[in-house]
Structure 1
């Protein structure tokens, strides 16, 4: 049995490792925040996802590849900013086979850790074999968020089995928690931009109708709503069509 001194030494090493990982994580997230501020909001969600993936590879010990899986329409999982083609292929396989750790993390579990892919065949028989053929020895998958209409996972991979211990799992979990907050913020910003753009184009369309038919704002908006209902098109699409037609006529009149 290990002596008290040996146990204390191991615990001290673990604490030192956790502290170092925490410091690395803090620096990585601070750099990501600076990059976002310097580049501006036009980079959008994809740029934020790329920062998360790169930071995870740099920060979490033994992680060689990483990617983010996000659920698109029809519950299809899409690979975003994968570190290489293997990660992209892994997400494609899970869609094709309907099984895999990333899917489980997204829909059922907060995290999935596979220490040895060769021992996961009883859980995902087809996926586990395919992942091994692609050179995956172990993996960690952490749920980023799961809410109505939106879900995702941060997926971390290593070529060798038995490399993800408790400290690396904790580091991955902490990174995923922070990454989820950053991603949520970026998505909200993108959503606000979309809403503002929609409001602007609807306002332009209202102005066109007001000028063309001599009506007020409320009547112009009612005309847009009625057109949307009659054509089964979204209101913003009707507005985009109307403003586009007005621009075409404007260009023709200037010739």
Structure 2
């Protein structure tokens, strides 16, 4: 809740502060994007770490932060938490099946708890346990929720009544930008997977071309037909074929 002094500040002061937060966010996320491209396969985890660190540094009153991701189910995984407390909070929500991060991931785009002492009616077991861990207030922002995958950026403070509407807006803007960076990181990771699949498919095509004396197009058609007949993805069929050839080669050498 904002104090009288804060409400009486000139409008241009608030605007200047908001602009500074925006500049800090932009700089942090630009650095995350650059580091992501430099680090390759390590990029996703490194980017998440930068997002958490940047949120603590740029969003007013935030003391702890973490990103919760869910893949193929409802279990929350805590990624690059800023402290053991954040890790415990995510595990707590898994154990209890309730909490603001779960709500943000599955039901709401933004969850703000102004005072954890007043949240017993919503999450009776979680609120009590969070207070015992020293959490006074929190904000949770949905990063994405699609195709069985979901995530949230969670920001914590030890004191209640520190996250007013302007602070929540800053957190929302940061979360929106963080979601874009995370999406880019996951997309790059997917490209690495696609390249690996392409390599193994090429290897499998070469095996079929040599074994049956066929061309590239015919070898690829053989892989596609095998994929359809076995109800396996094309890359999995190629992996199996390459693996079988490698096993036979190792057996002959021994």
Quickly name the TM-score band, shorter chain normalised.
0.7 to 0.9
Displacement after TM superposition at 1:171 (Å): 1.4
Distance 1:187 1:7, change over 3 A: closer
Distance 1:7 1:219, change over 3 A: closer
Query: Corresponding residue for 1:143?
Result: 142
| Partners of 2:43 and 2:33 in 1: CA distance | 13
| Partners of 2:219 and 2:31 in 1: CA distance | 48
8 A contact 1:210–1:216 mirrored in 2: yes
Query: Corresponding residue for 1:177?
Result: 176
Query: Corresponding residue for 2:51?
Result: 52
Query: Corresponding residue for 2:31?
Result: 31
Determine if the alignment matches structure 1 residue 89 to structure 2 residue 94: no
| Partners of 1:94 and 1:7 in 2: CA distance | 36
Gaps of 5+ in 2: 1-5
Provide Cα deviations, 1:80-120, integer angstroms capped at 9, x if missing partner. 11112221221222222221111111122111110111100
Q: Secondary structure at the match of 2:122?
A: coil
Q: Which moved more, 1:84-93 or 1:129-138?
A: 84-93
Query: Corresponding residue for 2:129?
Result: 130
Query: Corresponding residue for 1:3?
Result: none
| Partners of 1:154 and 1:117 in 2: CA distance | 18
Gaps of 5+ in 1: 1-5
| Partners of 1:77 and 1:222 in 2: CA distance | 41
TM-score by length of 2: 0.87
Displacement after TM superposition at 1:254 (Å): 6.0
Displacement after TM superposition at 1:19 (Å): 2.6
8 A contact 1:14–1:167 mirrored in 2: no
Give RMSD over aligned pairs. Answer: 2.4
Provide Cα deviations, 1:97-150, integer angstroms capped at 9, x if missing partner. 221111111122111110111100101111111111222111000111222333
